[in-house]
């Protein structure tokens, strides 16, 4: 089942995913610090994400992503990374500007469009010549392409 999350909900879900990935856990304080928001805002967001069945969370407890939450978070990150790759690798946009613009753009486009951006990047970069498993959303691949262009 597909549903529309707000841009804010997507940012909270992404933050939770990244914190769990890097710190093995996500707590209200960690999320608040990561997003530079109040703990009250985090608690409101967690309530909404729980209603959408994206997180499991009890007050003062550990925050866990549901399978649906993990899937949505990885899709959000993929959208961001593909858009950022397009801006940097194809349009030569400054990295910091690309980061900010990708954050805004990812909320406005469909998964189908993201896949088309990804395919376009691969066609321009001539992935077949790279002899690797190039992926535009992979940070390591983005660095490789920058080196190859020089």
Distance CA 148, CA 150 (A): 6
Cα separations (Å) of 137 from 14, 15, 134?
15, 17, 9
Q: Based on the fold, state whether residues 94 and 113 are members of the same structural domain.
A: yes
Q: Whose CA is closest to 48, among 3, 83, 111?
A: 3
**CATH number, domain at 31?**
1.10.10.10
Which structural domain range is residue 27 located in?
7-65
80 lies in a domain?
yes
Query: Rounded to an integer, what distance in angstroms lies between the CA atom of residue 15 and that of residue 31?
Result: 7
Q: For the chain, what is the domain count? A: 2
**Tokens coding 88:** 């940097």
Answer with the one of 15, 46, 65 that is the final residue of a domain. Answer: 65
Same domain, residue pair 86 and 142: yes
Instruction: Give the pLDDT band of residue 144 (cuts 50, 70, 90).
Output: low
35-39, 79-83, 129-133: least confidently modelled range: 129-133
> Looking at the structure, do residues 31 and 94 belong to the same domain, yes or no?
no
26-35, 43-52, 68-77, 105-114: range with lowest mean pLDDT:
105-114
DSSP code of residue 4? P
Asked if the model's pLDDT at residue 1 lies above 50, the reply is no
pTM over 0.85: no
């Amino acid at each position: 089942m597909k549903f529309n999350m707000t841009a804010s909900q997507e940012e909270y879900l992404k933050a939770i995913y990244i914190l769990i990935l890097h710190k093995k856990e996500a707590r209200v304080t960690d999320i608040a610090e990561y997003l530079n928001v109040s703990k009250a805002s985090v608690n409101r967001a967690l309530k909404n994400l729980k209603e959408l069945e994206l997180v499991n969370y009890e007050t003062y407890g550990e925050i866990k992503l549901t399978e649906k939450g993990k899937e949505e978070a990885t899709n959000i990150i993929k959208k961001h990374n593909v858009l950022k790759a397009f801006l940097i690798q194809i349009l030569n946009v400054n990295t910091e500007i690309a980061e900010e613009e990708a954050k805004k753009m990812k909320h406005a486009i469909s998964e189908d469009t993201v896949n088309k951006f990804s395919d376009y990047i691969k066609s321009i970069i001539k992935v077949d010549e790279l002899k690797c498993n190039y992926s535009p959303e992979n940070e390591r691949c983005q660095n490789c392409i920058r080196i190859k262009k020089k």
